[in-house]
Amino acid sequence: SKTHIGRPKWEEIFNQLISGENASTANDVDVFFCGPNAMAKTLRNHCATFRFRFYEEKF
């Protein structure tokens, strides 16, 4: 897998999940996250936009 520098392009990644011949529906996608609060907030907002379920763990 290729390494990408910088912040993930969540909208682009999520659009890939819901488009194409092997597309998923919002009911198929669960997002599990463990990391910094700022990134969690951004990811949570994108999940809400796409109606994906968002789960967060903190250690």
pLDDT in tens, 1-57: 688 888 889 999 999 888 877 788 878 899 999 999 999 999 999 999 999 999 999
| Packing angle, helices 10-18 and 37-50, rounded to 10 | 30
Rounded Cα distance between 10 and 54, Å, is 13
pLDDT at 32: 96
DSSP-assigned beta bridge partners for residue 31? 54
> Where are the chain's structural domains?
10-19+26-56
pLDDT at 23: 81
Rounded Cα distance between 52 and 36, Å, is 20
